Amino acid sequence: MMHRLVELPEAATISATKPMLTIEKIDTSNKAQVRRFISIPYQLYAHCPQWVPPLFVDAKLQLNRKKHPFYEHSDADFFMAVRDGRLVGRIAALENRRFNEYHKTRQAQFHLFECEDDPEAASALFEQVFTWARARGLDAVVGPKGFGALDGYGLLIEGYEQRQLMTMMNYNFAYYVKLVEAAGFQKEVDFVSCHLNIDTFKLPERVHSIANRAKERSNLVVQRFRTKREVIAWVPKLGRAYNEAFKNNWEYYPLTQREIDFLLENVLMLANPRLIKMITHGDDVVGFLLAFPDVSAALQRARGHLFPFALPNLLLDMRRTKWVALNGAGILSEFQGRGGNALLYSEMEKTIREFSFQDADLTQVAETAVQMRRDLVNLGGVPYKTHRVYEKHL
């Protein structure tokens, strides 16, 4: 069934051909509408043991045009599907102008898609995104893809039985694949996450030897930290290395300084500084390893709230968890052939063993990173979650 959807002013209601279903555009300055929009996944996944709720403060920030750095160069709008007065779905439409300028593309993105198993509602939401994109002269829609690196990429297509290890790795029900593909989307790229177990993840001594030679011959130094203040002192150089290390990645665009600061501020909020390592050459950061203790169980207990008891719970779980997420590892290309990769893998193993973690998740390695994926499998990593980014040409 075709829907005739017309874009109306903020907070207006858009009627679909079936009277029971409407698509509402969110006025992001209206707190009540923002609360309704962010409430949808908390309702959908209320009884799902694998879903980890984000903190309300983080969810609201994505709709805050004054505080989120994305809006300093780009734009987004948000829509809800309402059937007979009841929320049944939502979606965000984004235009990342810096990404499009860097890649010479005219893409829109969809993000924050959540929906009941309701094909009509899903179709109406996607049609609204297509209309939104065409009105801006954009010729394709890609997603799920969010406001930045912390939002995770793609729709979960394998690994539904596994709990989210971090809220920046998306979770969704299996029927979402059917809803997205019914809208005409096809695969763009997959991101694969690997499970590493301490009993099987053991580097050959040869790798450690190469890593040690890299430190001696290439003058590479591993910087370790005890306090967040020590990490903060390196943030500007880490930001430049982050931009440089991922410049050939599918998802890359040059982050602004505000986006780098925002990214690292969020990374450090619940980070253990001893799990953050940087590889330096002289005064420059040329590689990094960002590891995070798994606090997903504490986030589930918090149900989106940080206070009064959630923060102590999070801090306690940081100390007692046996899982760690390796979500941010990179080495500048000019050092990859000089033992830099070996040094990075060596530090991965040391991080897991030094802190007595039993399991690790290497989060979302793009299938285009062929060498890194091959290395991880050879070292005992087992692919166990796959997220797919889709594309539809308009």
Residue-wise pLDDT tens digits, 86-121: 999 999 999 999 999 999 999 999 999 999 999 999
**What's the topology of domain 13-189?**
Aminopeptidase (3.40.630)
154 and 170 in contact (C-beta within 8 Å)?
Answer: yes
The crossing angle, in degrees rounded to 10, of helices 257-269 and 235-245 is 110
364 and 373 in contact (C-beta within 8 Å)?
Answer: no
Residue-wise pLDDT tens digits, 245-280: 777 777 778 888 888 888 878 777 777 888 888 888
- Average pLDDT over the chain reads 85
Q: What are the start-end ranges of the E strands in 144-296?
A: 155-158, 186-197, 220-224, 276-281, 284-293
pLDDT of amino acid 10? 44
What are the percentages of helix, strand and coil residues in the chain, rounded to 5?
Answer: 40, 25, 35
- Shortest CA distance to 189 belongs to which of 327, 364, 329, 368? 368
For residue 362, the 8-state DSSP code is E
The crossing angle, in degrees rounded to 10, of helices 205-217 and 341-354 is 120
pTM comes to: 0.87
- Shortest CA distance to 279 belongs to which of 205, 351, 216, 332? 332
Any idea where the domains of the chain sit in the sequence? 13-189, 199-357
**What's the topology of domain 199-357?**
Aminopeptidase (3.40.630)
Burial of 348 (0-12, 13-18, 19+ CB in 10 A): buried
How distant, in Å, are the alpha carbons of 122, 169, 252, 283, 290 from that of 191? Answer: 24, 10, 14, 33, 18
HSE-up of residue 8 (Cα within 13 Å, Cβ side): 14
pLDDT classification of 333: cutoffs 50, 70, 90:
confident
Fold match between domain 13-189 and domain 199-357: yes
Name the one residue in this structure whose structure tokens are 């980890």.
52
The crossing angle, in degrees rounded to 10, of helices 175-182 and 119-135 is 50
pLDDT classification of 155: cutoffs 50, 70, 90:
very high
H runs (alpha helix) in 53-118: 56-61, 97-103
Rounded to 5°, the CA angle 295-299-305 comes to: 140
Name the one residue in this structure whose structure tokens are 């160069």.
73
Q: Which long-range contacts (CB under 8 A, 24 or more apart) does 372-376 make?
A: 373/192, 373/194, 375/341, 375/345, 376/194, 376/196
